[in-house]
Amino acid sequence: MAPEDPVTVSPPPPPPPPTPSLKTKIARRFVKSLAEVWTSRKLATEGGVRKRARRIKIAAYSSMARAVGGSRRAWSRALLAKLQGRAKRRCHLRSQRCLGLKRKRAGSRNMVRNEVSGSDKLRRLVPGGKAMDLCNLLEETSHFVQCLATQVKVMQSIADRYSV
Amino acid sequence: MDSDDKDKFEPAKQNEDPMDFNSASISSDWQFCGANLSSAPMNLIRPGNSMAVCREDLIGSSSCSSAPMADSFGPALWDQPSTMENLGFVNVSAQNNLSTSNLLGIQKVGPESVRGDIGWNPPSSMLKEGLFVPRGLGTFPIPECLPHFPTDSGFIERAARFSCFGGGNLSSMVNPFGIPENAGLYPIAGGLVLGPRDILPVSCPKPVSGAQSEKNEMNVEACRDVHLAATRGTPQGSSLINEGESESLARSRGEAKQGATAGSSNESDEAEFSGGGGGGQDNPSMLEGTGGEGSAKVFDCKKRKWSGEDAEIDKGKGAPQLAETTKDDGRTQQKLENNPSSNTSKATAKNNKPGSQGSDPQKQEYIHVRARRGQATNSHSLAERVRREKISERMKFLQDLVPGCSKVTGKAVMLDEIINYVQSLQRQVEFLSMKLATVNPRLDFNIEGLLAKDLLHSRAGPSSTLGLSHDMPIPFPPMHLPPHGLIQGGPAGIGRPADPLRRAMQNQMTPLAGGFKEPSQLPHPWEDELNNVVQMGFVGSGGSGAAPSGQDAEGPPPPPSHTKVEM
């Protein structure tokens, strides 16, 4: 998503610990791509806020997914795939999603109604959750929530810095 | 002592259990067959008597080591085994021996010890129970106990193995223990019945047994109470044995209700009875040796009773028939009885399992229950249980992650909470990206500085959520408005309105911050005060709630289509 400038690659002033925290990883990636969005002339002049916001959002999600290790987690895999092939596969995905949902409903008929709807909702929220069973879904959800919360924190701190 | 025993018991149990289960179940079945089909009452009684003899020795020594027992007892038993039953006993006892010897740490190699332990057969089975029960009791703050059971992979295996046999629940764990107990019951019951019979003329055994059954029942109920109360460790063990016997007797009388009244007031009696009943078995000593939990007074009572009973038992070596008939009755009755008890045990949560063992041992022995439990242990339900455990575990984990979810109970509500949280986070990301998009940093902004600051900030404060709230009052409204007006104005006007708004925003910003670079340094001295002040006013609406709410105001028009496409 974010091609690396030689300028931006310089290490952060505090020497990074051997295993940088999730927040650090996310922040580094996100700041890079954010800088890219901010510095791109094209977006600044003609893009408009909304387009830039979309770009930033994509940058946020992809940096989050990459920070986790790209394809290590189901949700990050699904997220990256979705972000990358978004435009191409939109129709295809939609039809697939319908099919998937139908199948899920049929399969989980004997579950409690509330739980079905809840887990289905959750499936829609967690990327790649449509193909998971409840166990995996919950696991992925927990990880996803962690990362998302971290991402939100990073974004908030950046926003704080620049919005005052 | 207690902890030691536990420690010992855990590994020993794991090692010994599978074997023990197999052996116990098989042998017990066998035994039942023998007892029911082949009428060999005399043989049955014998062991009991011999037991009694052994017990005397034991009482004399009152030690865990069964060496004297073995000597005195081994030959007697081995002389007898002309019938199936004896064989069955031997099997059971032998296996019990293996396990119990492991448990106790009394490693005795050679046939002698085994035989001696055969004499111990009932006690050994009882021993297990005693061991088991104290454990449950000692760690009665159940959660501690619990992990052993469900997490024990061996347990599942075992349960699977005993699908035809054991219960799906922990009761299956107890089953194997209980079954040997049954096996042990024979001699014990013989001894028990004999004792009273000796006192009374043999011609009228029924009333006597009835009376005893009542007493025993009291014991049983009291024992249950004790189990639940988790006050006493050893009496249970002994009383458990009594339970086995007394149940068979008492149930045959059909007086299951008395025990309810038999509360703490009966405790002394219970102790005595348990001593007396258990006198037939070598329990108390074994239990105390192993369980170690036993209260001294209980032990004394038992001892007293023992001596008394031993004498009785020695005297009364007749009337095995009665014992058998009563036992049979008891069995049938117990079958009936097991249903409610098993139901109750199921009703109690998993947590209660260790505690409910006390009531479990009674159930295990019966084929009916086995069948019922067998249903619960087929592979499907086992897998389902595992799955449910996993799910609940992850739910717990999620509960920790999602704020405000800790108080919620119930999976559905929790799921809703999680969904809300994820949604709010996603909305927050969207909102923040919008916010960041509206920020127009100078071209000379420094990524390194940003990163450094960001990292520093991230390290300095987990208060990044607060960060939002503390700068909300000033920049947020203008920031927030532009997209709003922009979107409502229509997609056509996107480019235009944004610029003036942004300009206005920057106008607002610059007087406040007095430049672009400064704000990063400025807020720091303020931060504490600002945090304190602003937090007061804004945390209610700010914090995590602020962004979503702000997003809500603006969100609905764009995001629905937006999010679906994007995410």
For the cut 70, the answer to whether the pLDDT of residue A146 exceeds it is yes
Q: Give contacts of A90 with chain B, Cβ < 8 Å.
A: 565
Write down the ipTM of this complex. Answer: 0.76
Per-residue pLDDT tens for B11-56? 434 443 433 333 333 333 343 333 333 333 333 333 333 333 333 3
pLDDT, position A43? 63
Q: Looking at B62-170, list the stretches that DSSP marks H as alpha helix, in order from N- to C-terminal side.
A: 67-79, 84-104, 111-138, 148-151, 153-161
B360 touches B178 (CB < 8 A): yes
Tokens representing residue B280 in the block: 């037939």
In angstroms, the separation between the Cα of residue A164 and the nearest Cα of chain B is 6
User: What is the full DSSP assignment across A28-71?
Assistant: HHHHHHHHHHHH-HHIIIIIHHHHHHHHHHHHHHHHHHHHHTTT
| Of residues A56, A138, A145, nearest to B395 (C-beta) | A138
Per-residue pLDDT tens for B401-458? 888 877 877 888 888 888 888 899 988 888 888 888 877 665 455 666 666 655 555 4
Return the higher-pLDDT residue of B245 and A98.
A98
pLDDT, position B282? 39
pLDDT, position B409? 78
Residue whose pair of structure tokens reads 């995410």 in the numeric block: B567
pLDDT, position B289? 36
| Of residues B423, B434, B566, nearest to A125 (C-beta) | B423
Average pLDDT over residues A128-132: 83
B/e letters for B478-491, b = 16+ CB within 10 Å, e = fewer, are: bbbebbbebbeeee
Q: How confident is the model at residue A92 (pLDDT cuts 50, 70, 90)?
A: low
Where is mean pLDDT largest: A97-111, B209-223, B426-440? B426-440
Tokens representing residue A105 in the block: 């409903």
Average pLDDT along chain A? 72
Residue whose pair of structure tokens reads 């927040």 in the numeric block: A23
pLDDT, position B406? 79
Rounded Cα distance, B494 and A116, in Å: 41
For the cut 70, the answer to whether the pLDDT of residue A22 exceeds it is yes
Average pLDDT over residues A68-85: 82
B/e letters for B257-286, b = 16+ CB within 10 Å, e = fewer, are: ebbeebeeebbebbbbbbbbbbbbbbbbbb
Rounded Cα distance, A8 and A12, in Å: 10
| Of residues A35, A61, A152, nearest to B428 (C-beta) | A152
Q: Give contacts of B565 with chain A, Cβ < 8 Å.
A: 86, 90
Q: Are B448 and A134 in contact (CB < 8 Å)?
A: no
Q: How confident is the model at residue A18 (pLDDT cuts 50, 70, 90)?
A: low
Q: Are A48 and B498 in contact (CB < 8 Å)?
A: yes
Instruction: Name the residue in chain A with its Cα closest to that of B392.
Output: A135
Q: How confident is the model at residue A33 (pLDDT cuts 50, 70, 90)?
A: confident
Ranges of each domain in chain A? 22-163
Length of chain B: 567
In angstroms, the separation between the Cα of residue B69 and the nearest Cα of chain A is 55
Chain A interface test: which of B442, B455, B524 (most A C-beta within 10 Å): B455
- The total of other beta-carbon atoms located within 10 Å of residue B311's CB is 15
Return the higher-pLDDT residue of B179 and A33.
A33
pLDDT, position B413? 84
For the cut 70, the answer to whether the pLDDT of residue A125 exceeds it is yes
B234 touches B288 (CB < 8 A): yes
pLDDT, position B124? 38
Return the higher-pLDDT residue of B515 and A158.
A158
Q: Are B423 and A8 in contact (CB < 8 Å)?
A: no
Where is mean pLDDT largest: B139-143, B155-159, B381-385? B381-385
pLDDT, position B383? 81
- Cβ contacts of B11 within 8 Å, gap of 6 or more: none
Q: Are A135 and B390 in contact (CB < 8 Å)?
A: yes
Rounded Cα distance, B60 and B160, in Å: 43
Rounded Cα distance, B146 and B149, in Å: 5
Q: Taking phi first (over 0 means left), then psi (-120 to 50 degrees means alpha), and beta for anything else, what does residue B292 get?
A: left
Average pLDDT along chain B? 44
Rounded Cα distance, B126 and B341, in Å: 21
Q: How confident is the model at residue B325 (pLDDT cuts 50, 70, 90)?
A: very low
In angstroms, the separation between the Cα of residue B464 and the nearest Cα of chain A is 5
Q: Are B432 and A152 in contact (CB < 8 Å)?
A: yes
Q: How confident is the model at residue B381 (pLDDT cuts 50, 70, 90)?
A: confident
pLDDT, position B308? 39
pLDDT, position A116? 62
Average pLDDT over residues B264-281: 37
pLDDT, position B516? 37
B287 touches B294 (CB < 8 A): yes
Chain A interface test: which of B388, B433, B499, B501 (most A C-beta within 10 Å): B433
Chain A interface test: which of B450, B520, B521, B534 (most A C-beta within 10 Å): B450
Q: Are A49 and B416 in contact (CB < 8 Å)?
A: no
pLDDT, position A21? 79
pLDDT, position B384? 83
Q: Give contacts of B476 with chain A, Cβ < 8 Å.
A: 163
DSSP one-letter code for A110: T
Q: Which among B162, B200, B563 is positioned nearest to B371, based on CA atoms?
A: B162
A88 touches A137 (CB < 8 A): no
